[in-house]
Amino acid sequence: MKKMTVVLVSGCLLSGAMFLTGGSVLGQEDKDQIAAPQNPAADKAADKPADKGADKAAAQGGNQRQGQRQGPGNFDPQKMQQQFMDSIKETLSVTDEDWNTMKPLIEKVMTLSRELRSQGRMGFTGGRRGGPGGTEQQPTTDAGKAIQALKTTLDNANSTPEEIKASLDAVRAVKKKSEGDLAKAKEELLKAITPRQEGRLVQLGIID
């Protein structure tokens, strides 16, 4: 009887000590499993295959950011020119038949105006494409050739005043001819348009 009582008391004391100290009769591996919080949703998400749609969207976003860093790089002068001419046609409110007559006259004025303006900038580019330090660019217009000849004369330290004056006269003669050609082209254009259309072209800066 005494032996049974001792066993019962010892068992109660052991249980109480384990309760108070948080002890356990489980092994260390079992303790770790109990201590670690259980998150079935996280475990399920970890086992779930990667979302292909999300990966594709992320890849597309990366490509878009890369494209933004690279810049457009697809500038098309001819396309822009065509869009500009289409906008002029719409502004003038002309039929296709009238536009077929008017378009080449407008393009001629625009070309001659552009060439005349460029004559004053040729000396600053050094005769090179893209400005100083660019590739050598051979002039194709009479004005460009005259200015290139003037540059060659001025770059020659042994050029005489007479040679310089002759080059200057050639440049001014070409410029005067260009101004005459532009004035004639504008007159031809004015004959083919109405006063309202003339006002629109002045507004656009094509004629003055």
Q: Looking at the predicted structure, is the pLDDT value of residue 144 above 50?
A: yes
Position 164 in a domain? yes
Task: Indicate whether 156 belongs to any domain.
Answer: yes
Domain count, the chain: 1
- Say whether pLDDT at 155 is over 60: yes
The sign of the dihedral angle between the CA atoms of 32, 36, 39, 42 is negative
C-alpha–C-alpha distance, residues 79 and 193, integer Å: 25
Question: What is the model's pTM?
Answer: 0.56
Q: What separation, in Å, do the N-terminal and C-terminal C-alpha atoms of the chain show?
A: 128
Q: What pLDDT digit, counting tens, does each position of 115-137 carry?
A: 888 876 655 544 455 555 555 56
Is 193 part of a structural domain of the chain? yes
Name the token pair of 180.
């005459």
In a domain, 131, yes or no: no
Does 158 fall in a domain?
yes
Report CA dihedral (45, 49, 50, 51) to the nearest 10 degrees: -90
Residue 95 counted as domain residue: yes
Measured distance CA(72)–CA(174) in Å, rounded: 39
CA torsion angle 45 46 49 50 (round to 10):
90
Structural domain of 200: 79-125+137-204
Average pLDDT, the chain: 73
Residue 153 belongs to a domain: yes
Which residues does 113 contact at the CB level (< 8 Å), separation at least 6? Answer: 182, 206
Quote the pLDDT of residue 108: 96
In a domain, 120, yes or no: yes
